[in-house]
A and B are shown apart, each in its own frame.
Chain A
Amino acid sequence: MATPFALLKTSLVKKYWMSLTGIFLITFLIVHLLGNLALLGSNDGNEAQIAFNEYTKFMTTFPLIKIVSYVLYFSILFHAIDGLMLVAQNKKARPVKYAHNKPEKNSIWASRNMGLLGTVILIFIVTHMGSFWFKYKFTEMPIDPMGNKDMYSIVVLSFKELWYVLLYVVSMAALAFHLYHGFSSAFQTLGVNHPKYTPVIKKVGYAFSIIVPAAFAAIPLVIYFSN
């Protein structure tokens, strides 16, 4: 038997990895969102600041989460590189384009533009990690009343910048479209297609793709428009 990595040149294996890393990233979104919700708490007596900074400390120091975070970095990189490789290969499969084409008659826009949407999301992730993750790990941070690194203030400060909020909202819209197709597509790629379960997977996927990015985008908007 060849190893899964040796098989990476096979079209189907590339897709399996897209699917597996994609599903892992979907589960990560839930965890990330739950943490972010701490930002929305009332901060009259520094409660939100302390809660969010405690959470950040836990996420960066707890050993099991540290291991998962490396799997996460790998998944993001792999999903992006594998995806871009697939896009390049797919472009090569049709050297001469149609003079007149109506793809909207048979498929949705998001499904045909996963590469474009993914690129927007990738650019966002790079900016996002630069302004938060990199700052937290490699630069001197302010300290909160409990003696923890004050990630809360850094985040709130960023969310007061118009360009950052706009980038955030646009990226979450791209994420919504990416998930609208990607969620159920991941299951189809793994061979999960059944008259009983597929309609449920699709409905959950559509709901997820709207609710989760909307909730993410709501946080910087709330902070930007509040005093």
Chain B
Amino acid sequence: MNLTIKVWRQDGPSDKGKMVDYKLTDISPDQSFLEMMDVLNNQIIEEGGEPIAFDHDCREGICGMCSMYINGEAHGPGRGVTTCQLHMRSFNDGDTIYVEPWRAKAFPVIKDLVVDRTSFDRIIASGGYVSVNTGAAQDANALPVNKDDADAAFDAATCIGCGACVATCKNSSAMLFVSAKVSQLSLLPQGKVEAHDRVLNMVKQMDEEGFGNCTNTGACEVECPKGISLENIARMNREFMFASLTNK
């Protein structure tokens, strides 16, 4: 495959940055998107240039590091996949591919395609945990949990915190991420105890980080590589409402 890749290049946080065109030849459709980026970087290094900085780690869709806005969509055109799970067979020979970093005030660009997502860490630190040691795994059925709740908690817990929801939201809202982290704990007995304080603190931190509000467009749910559902946002809305009205 022969491709034109338009990549966002930015030297550092204060650099203005711009889109730069690169030509690539002989790309295999079986290569992953990140492998294609590796080939492009080799080519840039051989020509004496500065390679493109991008985040990646496990390359199997579980770490949540890779974060590219490809052809106008978070993690590219695939559904239920991260950038590392996207393959070049999703594109056609001769295509022009746009590659940009996540865009949000709360995700400032560090360099090229690398953004600072520590705002997510600060939201977790504000309440996304259980304060006490809950001990080893419980004996089966010692702590009854409704199967539906267990499944919903597990589904929410599959969020890898990549930030695709923020990147794709027209408001750069972090509601899907925060609601998944609220839900995975509040649905289970160990997390229920602190549910009210947790949701109040996490939403407060989310607002302070400068994420936008939720318009319920549903874009996050579509682009989320883990298929986190809007039901989580509704659950957070409910919990926040009850917590605000009843907390002393």
Which positions in A face B, CB cutoff 8 Å? Answer: 1-2, 4, 7, 9-16, 86, 89-90, 92-103, 105-108, 111-112, 114, 181, 184-185, 188-193
> Measured between C-beta atoms, what is the minimum distance from B120 to chain A in Å?
15
Are A99 and B203 within 8 A (Cβ)?
no
Contact surface of B with A, Cβ cutoff 8 Å: 6, 8, 19, 69, 71-73, 77, 98, 100, 103-106, 168, 170-173, 203-204, 206-207, 210-219, 222-223, 230-231, 233-241, 244-248
**B98: chain A residues within 8 A (beta carbon):** 99-100
Further pairs besides A11-B212, A90-B215: 13, Cβ < 8 Å: A86-B213, A92-B105, A93-B171, A93-B210, A95-B105, A99-B6, A102-B72, A103-B170, A106-B73, A106-B168, A112-B215, A188-B230, A191-B238
Most buried by B among A94, A95, A111, A114: A94
Cβ A100 vs Cβ B244 within 8 A: no
B71/A189 in contact, CB under 8 A: no
What residues of A have a CB within 8 angstroms of the CB of B248 in the complex?
A: 1
Q: Do A94 and B171 touch (CB < 8 A)?
A: yes
Shortest Cβ distance from A192 into B: residue: B234
- Least CB distance from A194 to B in Å reads 8
Q: Is the CB of B213 within 8 A of A92?
A: no
A15 touches which of B214, B246, B247 (Cβ 8 Å): B214
A101 CB contact (under 8 Å) in B72, B204, B210, B239 = B72
- Tell me, in angstroms, the Cα distance from A100 to B6 when the chains sit together: 10
A10→B207 contact, CB < 8 A:
yes
- Give the distance in Å from the alpha carbon of A215 to the alpha carbon of B240 in the complex: 38
Interchain nearest-CB distance for B204 vs A (Å): 7
Given A1-B244, A103-B170, also A89-B215 (CB < 8 A): no
- Distance in angstroms between the alpha carbons of A14 and B213 in the assembled complex: 9
CB distance from A77 to the nearest CB of B (A): 19
Residues of B near A99 (CB, < 8 A) are 6, 8, 19, 98, 100
> Which of these, A100, A112, A189, A190, contacts B170 with CB under 8 Å?
A112
Whether the pair B240, A94 counts as a contact (CB closer than 8 A) is no
B104 touches A94 (CB 8 A): yes
Cβ 8 A contact of A12, one of B69, B203, B223, B247: B203
Q: Is the beta-carbon distance between B219 and A98 smaller than 8 angstroms?
A: no
